[in-house]
């Protein structure tokens, strides 16, 4: 996966935006103000922090060397995923993990906001 494809994937979700609250190099992807992905898109290898169900996070870390506890994040709920370069995950799995992260964040939004997303 390339940085351009990762950015396009993250921005392809309903109401997703890219912001730079930390540094100009760190893309933070949000839905209605809540973070679902973070990445330094110019870093090599390309990595992204993604929200994950805690039990699933443990299983993924055990199954893939490219998935580790979230760097600078709550390690129970976030994984850092290597998505580019040697040892990276297959693109289909990366897409699934990004979508799962987005869905988890949306599920935690107030009902009125979730409904508003469904109508857009």
pLDDT in tens, 29-66: 999 999 999 999 999 999 999 999 999 999 999 999 99
> Is residue 15 within 8 Å of 32, Cβ to Cβ?
yes
Per-residue pLDDT, averaged over 4-14, amounts to 97
Peptide bond into 45 cis (omega under 30): yes
Which pTM was predicted? 0.93
């Amino acid at each position: 996966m390339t940085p351009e494809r990762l950015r396009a994937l993250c921005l392809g979700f309903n109401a997703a935006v890219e912001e730079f609250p930390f540094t100009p190099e760190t893309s933070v992807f949000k839905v209605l103000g809540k973070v679902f992905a973070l990445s330094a898109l110019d870093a090599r290898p390309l990595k992204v922090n993604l929200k994950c169900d805690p039990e699933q996070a443990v299983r993924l870390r055990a199954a893939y060397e490219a998935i580790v506890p979230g760097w600078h994040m709550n390690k129970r709920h976030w994984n850092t995923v290597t998505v580019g370069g040697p040892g990276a995950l297959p693109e289909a799995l990366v897409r699934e993990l990004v979508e799962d992260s987005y869905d988890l964040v949306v599920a935690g939004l107030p009902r009125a906001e979730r409904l508003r997303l469904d109508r857009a």
